[in-house]
Amino acid sequence: MQSLTPPHHDPAPSRLSYRMHRWWLTPVYRRALRTGLPIALMAGGVLWYVSDPARVADVVTTVREAREAIEERPEFMVNLMSVEGASPELAQAVRDSLALRLPMSSFDMDLDAMRQTVEGFNAVAGATLRIRSGGVLAVEITERKPAVLWRNAGGLNLLDAGGHMVAGASLRADWPELPVVAGQGADDEVPEALALIAAAGPLKDRLRGLVRMGERRWDVVLDRDQRLMLPEEDPVAALERLIALDKGREMLKRDLTVVDFRNPRRPTVRLNSHAEDELQIVSDTEAGEFTQ
């Protein structure tokens, strides 16, 4: 009787096994199984979860309550506001403009927008807002300092040394320490006006102000209705030369109404009406004596 021997196992892989093995060795296939499949399963779970509006509403409510619980913690609450570097009037105007209802969470404050609001005041050159420890909102202001009083068609305005508007003014008497500039375009040339005022130091007691003429040049106005007409170019040097000339000849003590220094090489003067009458009398008298 013949014995039956089992068939030998074929070591060669099947066609399906071979293909699966080759796919697994492919980077794209391996990456898709390791990364893409978990992501797809997670996305499917999320989509299934949010398909129920009630569950979505619960999630939104939970997140909102957690956010409010964090934002309303004592360490994040602002209880006071301090305004530093400003006059009492400006400080009160800033408080009224911001109109904060304290206490307030610092998360509800847009500091950049608040800074722009504060810097919108003419009297504010710059502002910094920060929240200090202890729940204090500090508003640090750099206030413009009035340098001149500008008289124009709209009335009186206070300008700083750069010509920026500070505030309006009602009466000249309210600002006796400030020099006066007048005329259209004077606000654009405040630095030059201040240089002229400094150069006019020897005439300080007689100086009444500066007038911008034709938006091109300056007239210096003194008491006794005297006016010094300066050139367009280098008016400070021209004024210094005119003052030096006055020291030597005491020209401005005479009966003059205008000293025209627009051409420093050929200055001219204009007499007042009284001096002109006296000069005419002297001229007529000399002419009569000459004809006799």
pLDDT of residue 292 exceeding 60, the answer is no
pLDDT of residue 275 exceeding 50, the answer is no
Same domain, yes or no, for 265 and 192? yes
Per-residue confidence (pLDDT) for residue 287, from 0 to 100: 45
Alpha-carbon gap, residue 167 to 105, rounded angstroms: 34
Tell me, yes or no, whether 209 lies in a domain: yes
Confidence band (pLDDT; 50, 70, 90) for 273?
low
Average pLDDT over residues 206-224: 95
Tell me, yes or no, whether 99 lies in a domain: yes
Per-residue confidence (pLDDT) for residue 279, from 0 to 100: 39
pLDDT of residue 28 exceeding 80, the answer is no
**pTM > 0.75: yes or no:** no
Average pLDDT over residues 250-278: 79
Instruction: Count how many domains the chain has.
Output: 2
Confidence band (pLDDT; 50, 70, 90) for 284?
very low
Residue in 282, 288, 193, 284 with CA at minimum distance from that of residue 235 = 193
Bridge partners, 128 (sequence order) = 140
Chosen domain end from 143, 159, 194: 143
Same domain, yes or no, for 85 and 139? yes
Tell me, yes or no, whether 120 lies in a domain: yes
Tell me, yes or no, whether 272 lies in a domain: yes
Confidence band (pLDDT; 50, 70, 90) for 57?
confident
Domain assignment of residue 188, given as a range? 170-277
Per-residue confidence (pLDDT) for residue 35, from 0 to 100: 79
Q: pLDDT by residue (tens digit) across 4-17? A: 555 555 566 677 77
Tell me, yes or no, whether 39 lies in a domain: no
pLDDT of residue 174 exceeding 60, the answer is yes
pLDDT of residue 218 exceeding 90, the answer is yes
Average pLDDT over residues 65-70: 65
pLDDT of residue 156 exceeding 70, the answer is yes
Average pLDDT over residues 55-75: 68
Domain with 104 in it: what CATH number?
Answer: 3.10.20.310
**Residue 136 is inside which H or E element, if any?**
strand 136-143
User: For residue 60, what are its two tokens?
Assistant: 């939104």
Q: At what angle do helices 190-199 and 235-249 cross, to 10 degrees?
A: 20
Per-residue confidence (pLDDT) for residue 168, from 0 to 100: 92
pLDDT of residue 202 exceeding 90, the answer is yes
Domain with 254 in it: what CATH number?
Answer: 3.40.50.11690
